[in-house]
Amino acid sequence: MTRPILFDLDGTLVDTPNAIVETFGATLTSLGVPGVSPEEIRSTIGLPLEKAFAQLIGTSAPAATVEAA
């Protein structure tokens, strides 16, 4: 009989806040969005992705840029 194993990945095996900051930063850089600090990115953790990127990119960004993110 197979026995299931349950474990906590988030914050236990993976440092997700740092991974999120790194991947958001790389994405923003690839889109040509300058000057977004790790602290600004960290402040969006937990928001839906569309809202987080819209906040980080700024409301003046074209919709296509927000969509690309």
| Residues that are catalytic | 8, 10
Start-to-end CA span in the chain (Å): 45
The count of other CB atoms within 10 Å of the CB of residue 15 is 12
* Beta carbons within 8 Å of 60's beta carbon, 6+ residues apart: none
Per DSSP, the three-state class of 10 is strand
